[in-house]
Amino acid sequence: MNSNKYIIHPYVRLLFLVVFLIGTIFNNNMLHLIIAYLFVLIPLFIIGNKILSHFKLIALGIIPIFLTFILLYIFIYKNPEYGWDFIFNKIIKLTIYTSIFQLALIIPAKHLISTLTKWGLKGETLLIVLSAFTVPNDIVSKSEKIIEARFSRGFIKKRTFLNKFKQLPFVMIPLIIGVIRTSHERADSWEQKNIISLLNNYKSATQKINYNHFLNITLIIICIIWLILPLTLK
């Protein structure tokens, strides 16, 4: 599926981020939360080609938290006020929160600068935010290189997910050092290239982006409904 056909306008993206967060905070209806996740957020992941990365987030982030909640509230605390309904409500809300941030803030590289500039970022502020967007990629690439080096040296016998997970304590220190070093090198390189002036001139050099009107109008309508829905429940 070509994700270029489903480009969300920066203003709609920002509206979606703010409104969906506010609506989710004030909406405690489990049915509404599940419907929003299954019929709004999941389709957005699919048309944006982000569904696999979302499922990875669920597997590595949400499911371990869910199991931890079961251990704490069901087997340790055993408080009837914090039963299964409490756990499911918190997990569904946490899943929606992470989905909202994942959808709104994982921006295609070719639309990143234009999106941030339309959000009003410029100059050094824009540069700082761009640097922040590069950090996750640095973490992933460097952690993969460190684990691959441990494979080649024989510290890991089998290439299984569990064995990779066990390498986390050995990865942290060189990973932190590597990310900090890369950040300093990037800052020096951008300063030498006078990147701020290049960013200021970027707007005039970019081509007009054709946003999907149907998708953006639909998202605006959904955001309005999601915002007023908690008010109808009171």
Q: Summarize pLDDT for 90-139 with one digit per residue, the tens.
A: 999 999 999 999 999 888 877 888 888 888 887 778 877 877 777 777 77
User: What's the average model confidence in pLDDT over 13-35?
Assistant: 93
Prediction pTM value: 0.76
Give me 146's structure tokens: 């460190």
Residues 223 and 142 in one domain: no
Count of domains in the chain?
2
Query: Would you state the pLDDT for residue 6?
Result: 65
Residues 90 and 128 in one domain: no
| pLDDT higher than 60, residue 207 | no
Q: Which domain holds residue 46?
A: 3-112+210-232
Residues 56 and 165 in one domain: no
Residues 14 and 89 in one domain: yes
Instruction: Tell me what the pLDDT averaged over the chain comes to.
Output: 83
Query: Would you state the pLDDT for residue 201?
Result: 66
Residues 179 and 90 in one domain: no
* Residue at 96: amino acid letter: I
Residues 85 and 177 in one domain: no
Give me 60's structure tokens: 């590595």
Identify the band that residue 25 occupies on the pLDDT scale cut at 50, 70 and 90. very high
Residues 218 and 106 in one domain: yes
Contact 29, 93 (CB under 8 A): no
Q: For the chain, what is the radius of gyration of the CA atoms?
A: 21
Only one residue has tokens 């691959």, namely 148
Q: DSSP characters for 142-193?
A: HHHHHHHHHHHTTS-SS--HHHHHHTHHHHHHHHHHHHHHHHHHHHHHHHHT
Residues 194 and 217 in one domain: no
Residues 77 and 192 in one domain: no
Query: Would you state the pLDDT for residue 125?
Result: 81
Residues 183 and 227 in one domain: no
Residues 172 and 65 in one domain: no
Identify the band that residue 52 occupies on the pLDDT scale cut at 50, 70 and 90. very high
| Contacts of residue 45, Cβ cutoff 8 Å, sequence gap at least 6 | 51, 54, 99, 102, 103
Query: Would you state the pLDDT for residue 92?
Result: 95
User: What's the average model confidence in pLDDT over 48-60?
Assistant: 89
Residues 104 and 214 in one domain: yes
Identify the band that residue 1 occupies on the pLDDT scale cut at 50, 70 and 90. very low
Query: Would you state the pLDDT for residue 17?
Result: 95
